[in-house]
Structure 1
Amino acid sequence: MAVNLSKGQKVDLTKTNPGLTKIKVGLGWDLNKYDGGSDFDLDASTFLLNAVGKVNSDLDFIFYNNPSNSNNSIAISGDNRTGEGTGDDESVMIDLGNVPADVHKIAFCITIHEAKERNQNFGQVVNSYVRVVNEATNEELIRYDLGEDFSIETAITVGELYRHSGEWKFSAVGSGFQDGLAGLCRDYGVTV
């Protein structure tokens, strides 16, 4: 049975699920009534962060143009350009035992492609969520439904997976940003 989180809550992942080695982090969303005339393309991205909350190199930014890290322990599923249909729109596969030791935290984000140019924001998005699934059994372990607390934001850090005392934990973040993907990249130390 999945643990449902609220913004700011943290939960043990590997301690409460002994033997868990591979997970899928699924991200999903739907569009609210939108008739702006432009396609609405949301993208999942992942930042692999060191002990001070920054990437060690630009290669630690995983997205549709850089779909996996150097040892393939973290890989993004691809780019769903519409978000239509049920289930996860995009996902990140993680082999927990092979995540490089210098990665202390993995931040999961959703951004709106060309949001400023298309006059789009997360006020036009509904049913956003992040969930953690045991890849071996397809069991949903953790779920965080973001709600509709956003209006002018063009990027959201939805959650973080982080190391704590030799175990992995998950934090429901739900923080929005107005500067889109470029703002997230600057915050996490990626060269823009």
Structure 2
Amino acid sequence: MINLKKGEGINLSKAHPNTTRFIADLTWDPSPVATQRVEMEIVCFLLTQQDDGSRKCAADEDFVFYNNLKDPTGSVTHNPDDWQHGDDTLRLDLAKLSQRNPDITEISVIAEIYEGIDRRQDFGHVNHATVKVIDADSKTDIAQFRLTEEDAQFTAVQLGSFVQEGGEWHFKAVGKGYLKGLEAFVIAYGLQVGTPE
């Protein structure tokens, strides 16, 4: 398994040419500094390339989270636990997605502290927050990216992205966080803010 740092990535199509189904698995441990239960989840945004070079969601349904457990093609599904046992997953069938919605060029994967702003909780209240990319068929760990102390102040962090470039899929570790929580990502990806948390 490859340990990724911010800015690093892996070409999944070349490193694992026979694998098109993956799991993005978020794990964490409660921190001793947390005085109340911390709930976390993994969510994602399916993005299309815009004329200005940016990438945004084409529709609300391209935001996959606990109130929308799969995208319109059924290629990306959210498989939540009960948010407190330190394991939350996304399942991705990239071949199916490329066939049914070839306009999707990026799947941005986010970890969120549920109601982090209201509860005054951030990533400093959890330890070892890590996303693993796993072969969904063989259950083999392919790569992992762990957040660092630099991310402690945030309530939502972009863990990484599955990115399609030249017909090949990559996973790139990002580690970009916002103090405004998931709402900031909703806005950045072109959606209207409702009640995402």
TM-score (norm 2): 0.90
Q: For residue 9 of structure 1, what is the aligned residue in structure 2? A: 8
Shift of 1:24: 0.8
Q: Cα–Cα, structure 1 residues 9 and 140, in superposed 2: closer, same or farther, change >3 Å?
A: same
Distance 1:73 1:111 in 2: 22
Q: Which residue identity does 2:39 align to in structure 1? A: D
What is the aligned-residue identity percentage? 30
Give the secondary structure class of the aligned counterpart of 2:24: strand
Distance 1:35 1:20 in 2: 39
Contact 1:27 1:90 in 2 (8 A): yes
1:82-114 Cα shifts (integer Å, max 9, x gaps): 134xxxx11111111111211100011011111
Contact 1:126 1:147 in 2 (8 A): no
Shift of 1:71: 1.4
Aligned residues: 186
Residue 134 (str. 1) matches residue 124 (str. 2)? no
Equivalent runs, 1:22-171 vs 2, <5 Å:
22-36=21-35, 38-51=36-49, 52-84=54-86, 89-99=87-97, 100-171=101-172
Unpaired segments ≥5 residues, structure 2 = none
Unpaired segments ≥5 residues, structure 1 = none
Contact 1:126 1:148 in 2 (8 A): no
Distance 2:92 2:121 in 1: 30
RMSD, aligned CA: 1.3
Q: Which residue identity does 2:30 align to in structure 1? A: L
Distance 1:80 1:29 in 2: 13
1:108-156 Cα shifts (integer Å, max 9, x gaps): 1011111122111111121011111111111111111222222321100
Shift of 1:79: 4.1
TM-score (norm 1): 0.92
Distance 2:117 2:16 in 1: 42
Distance 1:162 1:62 in 2: 16
